[in-house]
């Protein structure tokens, strides 16, 4: 069973709908014990980094870290991926999980913000999540802050600078784009997560 | 590289997609869920569903259409028409929309933009502006283009962005329904005035019009309704032509 973590930020319908479409066994939950009991964790999110403060308030932070360190497959999407880093300039008082090093930063002023639309992926070899995804495939983004390039990066995006489009380390996966909004490419990525 | 988006707009009346010129001589163009998935399969980068009647009695019909469309659509999905308050927006998001478009209600109460953005994020709020050329600039019209506001479109776009809008959907009323090309002057003026993406609308008739609005108009996305129905123009073919003209698009898609 995949637990989609509900911490009151934004709308989780589209992620649930995509996993339902793939026939996955899914529960949307805000309960720490349900998160701990799940086989896989999906942390969605869109909007402001400060909304992640709700994870701490609901006791979900510990549950998420416990599940991640227990080796359960964990996918962070958009803000959910940014949470896997140390934090974000968008809201310095909320701490990320620190699983990946560095902080999320704003795009340079040379480009419009937010970064909205379909952008291509520069995929690196060896990713389990992006297995079978063609080089330069297009995925849909909507965000104003981005994660830094790190050694765990499995795909890069380009928008005024290079940023981490996908990261992966062991059982921990993160994507800055929205696979649930990225057509067949996105569904294939979610299917990989279901099967990992 | 970030690509330029081609957005298909579905005008809906009483639960059915309709097509006419300037909301007149409406013809039935099909079921919204079927039209949306067909357009997405054909290469549309985004779908907008616009409730053109938007009377209160129709809300249930709209929400049902949004729900059915969202269930099988895995591309960005915007819903507009008749959203007057936060609760209206919340109901549309609950039904499965990713973004809402607000027009008259935002002009009446600009703080509504911030209220919706505060709860659902700026990326979920598209402010639609209907503009017409007047002496000395472009004026904002509301209520489906029937009521002049006396407001300058460029200033309103800036204010909407400052209030928390994530994108501007800019329609040239002079060009809407004419298939004579986008108003590149209007689009460019607004696109250079705000730091958020601008979607150009009104006047799409040929692939060349799209090339011009991306090149001369500096649009981030372009929307069309009429040319995408009844197979009059194939979106995949349009995107191939844009690609050949050197415009970055999601191709092949």
Asked if the C-beta of B253 comes within 8 angstroms of chain A's C-beta atoms, the answer is yes
Say how many CA atoms lie within 13 Å of B182 toward its Cβ.
31
CB contacts of A187 in chain B (<8 Å) are 74
Fold topology of A2-195: Rossmann fold (3.40.50)
Assign B28 a pLDDT band (cuts: 50, 70, 90). Answer: confident
What pLDDT score does B8 carry?
95
Residue in B120, B196, B197 nearest the CB of A11: B120
Are residues A158 and B1, on separate chains, in Cβ contact within 8 Å?
A: yes
Assign B60 a pLDDT band (cuts: 50, 70, 90). Answer: confident
Which residue pairs from A60-64 have beta carbons closer than 8 angstroms and sit at least 24 positions apart in sequence? A60/A5, A60/A7, A60/A30, A60/A32, A60/A35, A61/A97, A62/A32, A63/A32, A63/A33, A63/A35, A63/A36, A64/A5, A64/A35, A64/A97
Average pLDDT, rounded, for chain B: 92
CB contacts of A13 in chain B (<8 Å) are 70, 93-94, 96
pLDDT value at B22 more than 60: no
Q: Which range has the worst mean pLDDT, A86-100, B17-31, B171-185, B203-217? A: B17-31
Asked if the C-beta of B40 comes within 8 angstroms of chain A's C-beta atoms, the answer is yes
Are residues B123 and A21, on separate chains, in Cβ contact within 8 Å?
A: no
What pLDDT score does B23 carry?
53
pLDDT tens sequence across B148-193: 999 999 999 999 999 999 999 999 999 998 889 999 999 999 999 9
What pLDDT score does B128 carry?
98
Are residues B196 and A47, on separate chains, in Cβ contact within 8 Å?
A: no
Handedness of CA A42, A98, A192, A196 (dihedral sign): negative
Question: How many whole angstroms separate alpha carbon B208 and alpha carbon B181?
Answer: 8
CB contacts of B3 in chain A (<8 Å) are 117-120, 138
Residue A26 C-alpha, separation from nearest chain B C-alpha, in angstroms: 16
What pLDDT score does A111 carry?
93
Residue A24's nearest CA partner among A35, A36, A39 is A39
Interface-testing mutation among B44, B98, B199, with chain A (most A C-beta atoms within 10 A)? B98
Domain ranges of chain A: 2-195
Q: Which range has the worst mean pLDDT, A158-172, A174-188, B35-49, B50-64? A: B50-64
In A46-171, at which residue ranges do the beta strands (DSSP E only) sit? 74-77, 87-88, 103-106, 115-120, 122-123, 138-143, 145-146, 153-158, 162-169
Domains of chain B: 5-244 (3.20.20.70)
Name the residue with higher pLDDT: B92 or B14: B92
Q: Per residue of chain A (196 residues), what is the pLDDT tens digit?
A: 999 999 876 668 889 999 999 999 999 999 999 999 999 999 998 778 888 999 998 999 999 999 999 999 999 999 999 999 999 999 999 999 999 999 999 999 999 989 999 999 999 999 999 999 999 999 999 999 999 999 999 999 999 999 999 999 999 999 999 999 999 999 999 999 999 9
Instruction: Enter the ipTM.
Output: 0.93
Using an 8 Å Cβ cutoff, are A5 and A44 in contact?
yes
Residue B144 C-alpha, separation from nearest chain A C-alpha, in angstroms: 27
Active-site positions of A?
A: 78, 178, 180
Stated length of chain A? 196
Size of interface A-B (CB pairs under 8 A): 90
Q: C-alpha angle A67/A72/A78, rounded to 5°? A: 80
């Amino acid at each position: 069973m995949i637990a989609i973590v509900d911490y009151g930020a934004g709308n989780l319908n589209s992620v649930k709908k995509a996993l339902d479409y793939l026939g996955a066994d899914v529960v949307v939950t805000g309960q720490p014990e349900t998160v701990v009991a799940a086989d896989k964790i999906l942390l969605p999110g869109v909007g402001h980094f400060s909304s992640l403060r709700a994870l701490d308030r609901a006791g979900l932070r510990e549950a998420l870290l416990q599940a991640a360190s227990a080796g359960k497959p964990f996918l962070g999407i958009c803000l959910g991926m940014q949470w896997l880093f140390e934090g974000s300039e968008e809201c310095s008082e909320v701490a990320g999980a620190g699983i990946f090093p560095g902080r999320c930063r704003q795009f340079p002023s040379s480009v419009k913000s937010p970064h909205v639309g379909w952008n291509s992926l520069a995929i690196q070899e060896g990713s389990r999540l992006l297995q079978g995804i063609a080089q330069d495939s297009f995925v849909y983004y909507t965000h104003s802050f981005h994660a830094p390039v790190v050694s765990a990066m499995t795909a890069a995006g380009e928008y005024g600078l290079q940023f981490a489009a996908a990261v992966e380390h062991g059982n921990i996966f993160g994507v800055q784009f929205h696979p649930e909004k990225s057509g067949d490419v996105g569904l294939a990525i979610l299917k990989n997560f279901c099967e990992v | 590289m970030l690509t330029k988006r081609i957005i298909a707009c579905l005008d809906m009346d009483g639960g059915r997609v309709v097509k006419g010129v300037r909301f007149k001589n409406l013809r039935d163009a099909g079921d919204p869920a079927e039209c949306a998935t067909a357009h997405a399969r054909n290469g549309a980068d985004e779908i907008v569903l616009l409730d053109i009647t938007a009377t209160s009695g129709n809300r249930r019909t709209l929400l049902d259409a949004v729900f059915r469309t969202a269930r099988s659509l895995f591309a960005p999905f915007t819903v507009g028409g008749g959203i007057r308050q936060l609760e209206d927006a919340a109901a549309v998001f609950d039904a499965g929309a990713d973004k809402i478009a607000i027009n008259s209600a935002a002009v009446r109460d600009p703080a509504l933009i911030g209220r919706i953005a505060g709860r659902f994020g700026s990326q979920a709020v598209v402010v639609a502006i209907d503009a017409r050329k007047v002496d000395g600039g472009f004026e904002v019209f509301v209520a489906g283009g029937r009521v002049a506001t006396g407001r300058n479109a460029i200033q309103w776009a800036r204010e909407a962005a400052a209030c928390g809008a994530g994108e501007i959907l800019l329609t040239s009323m002079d060009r809407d329904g004419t298939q004579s090309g986008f108003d590149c002057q209007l689009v460019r003026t607004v696109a250079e005035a705000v730091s958020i993406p601008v979607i150009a609308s009104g006047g799409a008739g040929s692939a060349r019009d799209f090339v011009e609005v991306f090149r001369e108009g500096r649009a981030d996305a372009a929307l069309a309704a009429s040319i995408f129905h009844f197979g009059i123009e194939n979106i995949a073919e349009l995107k191939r032509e844009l690609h050949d003209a050197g415009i970055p698009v999601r191709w092949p898609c």
